[in-house]
Structure 1
Amino acid sequence: MVLLLCGALAMTLFVTGPARAKGQVRDSAWTVSGPSPRASDSGPLARLRLDRASGALTLQVSRSGRTVVEPSPVGIVTERADLSRGLRFVGRSDRTVAGQYRSTVGKERSRAYRMTEARFRFRGDGGARLDVLVRASADGVAYRYVLPSGSGDVLGETSAFTLPADADAWLGTYRKDNENLFKQYTAATAPAGEYMAQALFQTGGTYALIAESDLTGRYSAARLVHEEGAPTYRIGLWDQRVESDGPLSTPWRAMVVGDLATVTESTFTDDLAPASKVADTSWIRPGPALWTWLAGGRPAGQSLSMQKGYVDYAAARGWPYVVVDAGWYFDPDQWDVTDPDWQRNSWIPELVRYAKQRKVGIQVWIHQRDLDTAEEREQWLPTLEKWGVKGVKIDFMDSEAQQTLRWYDEILPATAAHHLLVNFHGSTIPKGIQRTWPQVMTMEGVNGEEKRVNTPEHLATLPFTRNVIGSMDFTPGAFHRAERPNAASDAGELGLSVLYESGIQNLAGTPESYDARPQARRFLEQIPASWDRTRLLAGRPGESAVLARAKGERWFIGGTFTGDAHTATMPLRLGRGKWLVDLVLDGADGLAREPRVVRGGDTLSVPVVKDGGFAAIACRWRPGVTSCDRPS
């Protein structure tokens, strides 16, 4: 009995801190730590502190004894109470949150997570209640606010992230479609303004990617607001007032923390999100697509014969999809969308039948304004399903307001019910949506191949920022566009098809551009529908990125580099034994193929041209094997 009492007392001290007299608050700081990612490295540790004088909360994040995020404000203001100050600690409870799930797309198919969750309970002025949930895992720290019914609308957050002043920062200024370029600053010297909530910071070899997860129509999307000269980035919400008529759990304020490989390979924002709401996912099939917009523009979207030609080309390549972009339902000579019998006038059913015979699925572009009411969704979605269309590319939401997020809450179950894959353009970024709604194959939220202002530095930053958070429809492969930032490097353009993960990898080139580059065409014919594993081989944001992604026993490698021509080196971190690395490089007369035999863990040396890159397939070496091509 004595031993049991001692054990209970020890557990009480662990959970709530030092004992305290009634009415006296001595607890002022608590820690939450996740499992260590490896024996030689301690994982992220969160330290929540309550200032007893002001009743204000701060959160600090460290890793292996080094501060990554300085003590930063934590708090929320509702129409009923200011819960950023005057708080009194009530109690703490801890639990372990762990699980496994399979993703339809992403950098890793089979996933397992384990987090420590601590719930801190506070009371504010007038008895207002606030719970702060803090989670820590091997690759991140996150927190959210939980408010009871009757708290009223949210007027804002005091949440912020304060970084070491000299921390390197990779930031993109905010815009409603999340498509601005990333540029490098330091945390304190970045210009004043608003930045996208996908900001990367680095200090002392440790990185922190600021993100959010579990964003739905119950709340408003965040951006980062920065004042010049200060290393603090506070949360700004799209809406000045977030409507709430019941209990509220805000989105997670997430920090993906670790070395660069840990951050790049992390699935933390998905792990935080709710489990899948789609019971049967057997119909959800990712894969490459021939995207006809950059290949043929609006005329292609208005021409059945052109689209049949694209279907034939995709079938010959083994690509499972063709995406018909804008124009197919806006030609007044074909049909009028206001006509109740409008579907009789479309040639899409004929294209679907033609494509089905060739084992190619059709996806179609549609403007969000044609799906923004329940009546329109009931008109469009069942019809597209009846026609046999496999997916929809929905464009021009151009908002992260609570009202728009509520529209996402409506379109997601509707597309799942009608077995339609989804690609959102002019949109928010994934933020955990792909775990909860696995039919979401990809989202734009990126300044991709369609735009004409990209830089080599932007290309080398995306794998460490936007693409960490979820699938990204950059639309690589547009060899025919002379203005692309790696125009002198066809090998670098080819490598983007691996470097950037997307559940539907929309390949943006013309058939003629692929036929003129048989090595690129051969490589793209090998691209898998999805990836089993992802590993960072080398890189630094804004300078270079080399990622390897596995499907079965084969690894696909893509690399991009900035600066002058040089020989790039990287460890072949694929496993022990001998590997055949089937390289595609820029040669004097175009793309060249160069097979090499290398041992796992050895250094791979690759010549790259100015602002160039490379692509490769790696497979286990066996005597007589000279190619990693998939058996025909």
Structure 2
Amino acid sequence: MRIIFVVCCMLINTALYSQNKITVSSPNGLLEVKVSMDDGISMYSVNYKGIVMLENSPLGLLTNEGDFTSNLSFVDASTDEINNHYTQDKIKTSFVKYQANTLTYTVKNEEGKQIAFHFQVSDHDIAFRYELPKWGDTRATVVEREVTGFRFPSATTAFLSSMMKPMTGFARTAPSYESGYVTDVALESTTAEYGYVFPGLFKIGENGWVLLSETGVGSNYNGSHLSSFKDGLYTIEYPQMEQNNGFGSTGAQIGLPGFTPWRTITVGKTLKPIVETTIPFDVVEPLYEASQAYQYGKGSWSWIVWQDNSMNYEDQVKYIDLAAAMDFEYILIDAWWDERIGYEKMEKLINYANSKDVDVFLWYNSNGTANDAFQTPLNKMNTSFARKKEMKWLKEAGVKGLKVDFFGGDKQETMRLYEDILVDANDHGLMVIFHGTTLPRGWERMYPNFVGSEAVLASEMLIFSQGVREKEAFYASLHPFIRNAVCSMEFGGILLNKFLNRGNKQGQERLTTDSFQLATGVLFQNPVQMFGLTPNNLSDVPVFELDLLRKLPTTWDETVFIDGYPGKYSVLARRSGKHWYIAGVNAENTAKTLKIDLPMLKGQEVSLYNDDKEIQPTLQTVKVGKNGELTVTVQPRGGFVLTH
């Protein structure tokens, strides 16, 4: 057997075997993962173009049926290749080719029980997970803890958002992935008490970038996050016990054979692979078929600016008329609709919307037991019988989608609730947006009727917080590189009131330009976008801005990184069919002149939406150079959009 094993290894050019040290490379040979054993501890490291991106970092699980964190011994290894392709209409690109080389590295503990580390390495991405076989008659286990770690070179700096303290914030609904960011900071300073949410971005000195995240989390597991920096590395941490009001395990209960979610590592010399990665979707599969063809698009939404007082029949008619005037597909009717409009009048309102070619999303509180959120409809989504009864009515009334709010936590118990809502909604032909929520982890592909999650310090906080308004451009420049790089992001943006309230005369002043707001419609990717326009915008906003929003897509065939640096500025190009949209924002306090390279538009005339020196919105026709270059000046807290 030993001779056969060695011969087989010599025939495989994707991996190098040396006793228990094994290297698997990407198809282009530039990205390498080395898995090894050191004194009974399994380790891995990552090199890109011969440069260390992750130093030796630990692997391992602790389960209630065995310890796989130490005193391990090597069993065997195998390699393979993946050559796959798929189409997906809800992510940053519509057609994906995924090629990777794989390594399955099997070890055993002192009791002889085995576990495998399975790696898939494509040209810029690594996905790995733990695979657990049956152990004798044992067919179930609880994974209690991971020691999976990420040890970066010493020159690395971090771009991270902290995990919120459980059972705090509004009505004890935290954590909901709504914290700010530290940017370009030394690892030693990242010591947040509850760690950091996925994804996390790291700059490896002058050698490149690494984005960490996870994917493939449904009812099968709990969501995880990064620890604070300790003993020279970050580790995977499971939810705090306090989440979900202290109910449910912090680990995961799985059947055997079984596996964990994927941990993902995206690597690049530049930020281009970070922005363009599709790894969260490459390694997951749809869990069920769509019950129908779902339609994506844009919507109006009264609550974001007009708030709770707009939850009445007359104001919702105004927002239906706004959606119709803007050629939007949807209106989102938010909290309290059941009490302040009522089910019977809601059916009448839905019929009115449909007469205007507008469809309806309705808001629901996810809660029943987990926190103190009190807005109604309440106790409609948290149990199976109540949910199915409600969704039967929704389908009969002609509602097309739900926005479900106030989850707070990453325990497996909560992940089951997400999945249960999605599965039941699909049975009734309903799309789902989640709010006050966790990061979606591959859900765009896993769940056909999932159409977005907040999981970001989003537009509502622009209404409530002066500090967030002051940092709006800063955060927007981060999202294409971090939060929105791994999944869709239902931000609820494009606010064109000068003051973010119903009167639009004084109060919460918007500190970004109109062109900045338009640019976020391209920068922020989500298949259904509920925008913050108000009825008065039909007459107090330049017509050319409204015309751009009327034709703006929400789904894309291609996304290309153009330029930027997280926290300073960002420029992306997205293609829908034959039409390109290029958008950029400037987070800094001085105007920035950019020479951008647009090879897809060489020598062509394009429409440029921008701000002049007086910060007034402008529209002009410009021509891209024959070499594909175009110079654009972006005002402080401003932005631009190019359309073709």
TM-score (norm 1): 0.88
Q: Alignment partner for residue 296 of structure 2, among 286, 292, 296?
A: 286
Distance in 1, matches of 2:511 and 2:106, equals 56
The 1:570/1:431 distance shift into structure 2, 3 A limit, reads farther
* Structure 1 match to 2:375: none
| 1:77 counterpart SS class | strand
| 2:441 counterpart SS class | coil
* Structure 1 match to 2:155: 166
Distance in 2, matches of 1:98 and 1:486, equals 48
Distance in 2, matches of 1:388 and 1:406, equals 27
Q: Alignment partner for residue 565 of structure 2, among 534, 540, 546?
A: 540
Asked if 2 retains the 8 angstrom alpha-carbon contact of 1:495 and 1:613, the reply is yes
* Structure 2 match to 1:271: 282
Asked if 2 retains the 8 angstrom alpha-carbon contact of 1:281 and 1:438, the reply is no
Distance in 1, matches of 2:287 and 2:622, equals 42
Distance in 2, matches of 1:192 and 1:295, equals 33
* Structure 1 match to 2:479: 462
Amino acid at match of 2:90: V
| 1:126 counterpart SS class | coil
* Structure 2 match to 1:522: 547
* Structure 2 match to 1:351: 349
Superposition map of 1:62-101 within 5 A: 62-101=47-86
Distance in 2, matches of 1:80 and 1:349, equals 54
| Residues 200-224 of structure 1 deviation map (CA, whole Å, 9 limit, x = unaligned) | 0011242111100101222211111
Amino acid at match of 1:50: M
1:287: Cα distance to partner? Answer: 0.7
Distance in 2, matches of 1:426 and 1:443, equals 8
Q: Alignment partner for residue 402 of structure 2, among 385, 389, 392?
A: 392
Superposition map of 1:250-269 within 5 A: 250-258=260-268, 259-269=270-280
Asked if 2 retains the 8 angstrom alpha-carbon contact of 1:567 and 1:605, the reply is no
* Structure 2 match to 1:28: 20
* Structure 2 match to 1:212: 214
The 1:358/1:5 distance shift into structure 2, 3 A limit, reads closer
**How many corresponding residue pairs?**
586
| Residues 268-294 of structure 1 deviation map (CA, whole Å, 9 limit, x = unaligned) | 111111235225552x11111112212
| Residues 16-42 of structure 1 deviation map (CA, whole Å, 9 limit, x = unaligned) | 835xxxxxxxx2311112223xxxxx5
| Residues 521-560 of structure 1 deviation map (CA, whole Å, 9 limit, x = unaligned) | 1211121141111111110111110111111121112211
1:570: Cα distance to partner? Answer: 3.6
Superposition map of 1:11-410 within 5 A: 11=11, 17-18=17-18, 27-36=19-28, 42-51=29-38, 54-149=39-134, 150=138, 152-175=141-164, 176-184=175-183, 185-193=185-193, 194-203=195-204, 204-227=206-229, 230-238=231-239, 239-258=249-268, 259-275=270-286, 277-279=288-290, 281-282=292-293, 284-301=294-311, 303-331=312-340, 335=342, 345-369=343-367, 370-410=380-420
More displaced stretch, 404-413 vs 144-153:
144-153
| 1:127 counterpart SS class | coil
Distance in 1, matches of 2:219 and 2:477, equals 33
* Structure 2 match to 1:476: 493
The 1:7/1:145 distance shift into structure 2, 3 A limit, reads closer
Asked if 1 retains the 8 angstrom alpha-carbon contact of 2:9 and 2:17, the reply is no
* Structure 1 match to 2:245: none
Distance in 2, matches of 1:102 and 1:606, equals 34
Asked if 2 retains the 8 angstrom alpha-carbon contact of 1:45 and 1:141, the reply is no
Asked if 2 retains the 8 angstrom alpha-carbon contact of 1:73 and 1:158, the reply is yes
Asked if 1 retains the 8 angstrom alpha-carbon contact of 2:322 and 2:534, the reply is no
Distance in 2, matches of 1:169 and 1:613, equals 26
| 1:494 counterpart SS class | helix
| 2:317 counterpart SS class | helix
* Structure 2 match to 1:595: 621
Asked if 2 retains the 8 angstrom alpha-carbon contact of 1:165 and 1:188, the reply is no
Amino acid at match of 1:429: L
1:574: Cα distance to partner? Answer: 4.2
| 2:280 counterpart SS class | helix
Asked if 1 retains the 8 angstrom alpha-carbon contact of 2:292 and 2:429, the reply is no
The 1:514/1:536 distance shift into structure 2, 3 A limit, reads farther
* Structure 2 match to 1:501: 525
Distance in 1, matches of 2:53 and 2:611, equals 40
More displaced stretch, 71-80 vs 519-528:
519-528
| 1:464 counterpart SS class | coil
1:462: Cα distance to partner? Answer: 1.0
Distance in 2, matches of 1:527 and 1:281, equals 24
1:583: Cα distance to partner? Answer: 1.1
Amino acid at match of 1:92: A
Asked if 2 retains the 8 angstrom alpha-carbon contact of 1:565 and 1:607, the reply is no
| 1:497 counterpart SS class | helix
| 1:539 counterpart SS class | strand
* Structure 2 match to 1:433: 443
| Residues 559-583 of structure 1 deviation map (CA, whole Å, 9 limit, x = unaligned) | 1112233242142334263222211
Asked if 2 retains the 8 angstrom alpha-carbon contact of 1:371 and 1:377, the reply is yes
Distance in 2, matches of 1:463 and 1:469, equals 9
Asked if 1 retains the 8 angstrom alpha-carbon contact of 2:61 and 2:146, the reply is yes
Distance in 2, matches of 1:408 and 1:506, equals 21
* Structure 2 match to 1:584: 609
Distance in 1, matches of 2:484 and 2:12, equals 42
* Structure 2 match to 1:413: 423
Distance in 1, matches of 2:313 and 2:94, equals 36
Amino acid at match of 1:260: L
Asked if 1 retains the 8 angstrom alpha-carbon contact of 2:563 and 2:596, the reply is yes
Distance in 2, matches of 1:189 and 1:165, equals 13
Amino acid at match of 1:466: R
| Residues 382-423 of structure 1 deviation map (CA, whole Å, 9 limit, x = unaligned) | 110111101000111111111011112212211111111110
Gap regions ≥5 residues in structure 2: 165-174, 240-248, 368-379, 501-507
| Residues 151-206 of structure 1 deviation map (CA, whole Å, 9 limit, x = unaligned) | 63112000111111221210000122111112211223323431112100011242
Distance in 1, matches of 2:198 and 2:123, equals 21
Amino acid at match of 1:499: L
* Structure 2 match to 1:22: none
The 1:600/1:215 distance shift into structure 2, 3 A limit, reads farther
| Residues 109-147 of structure 1 deviation map (CA, whole Å, 9 limit, x = unaligned) | 112211212111111111111111011112211211111
The 1:218/1:534 distance shift into structure 2, 3 A limit, reads same
Asked if 2 retains the 8 angstrom alpha-carbon contact of 1:486 and 1:493, the reply is no
Distance in 1, matches of 2:516 and 2:609, equals 9
Q: Alignment partner for residue 600 of structure 2, among 575, 581, 593?
A: 575
Distance in 2, matches of 1:6 and 1:60, equals 23
Seq. identity, %: 25
* Alignment RMSD: 2.3
Amino acid at match of 1:592: T
Q: Alignment partner for residue 536 of structure 2, among 500, 509, 512?
A: 512
The 1:13/1:480 distance shift into structure 2, 3 A limit, reads closer
The 1:6/1:56 distance shift into structure 2, 3 A limit, reads closer
Amino acid at match of 2:153: P
* Structure 1 match to 2:377: none
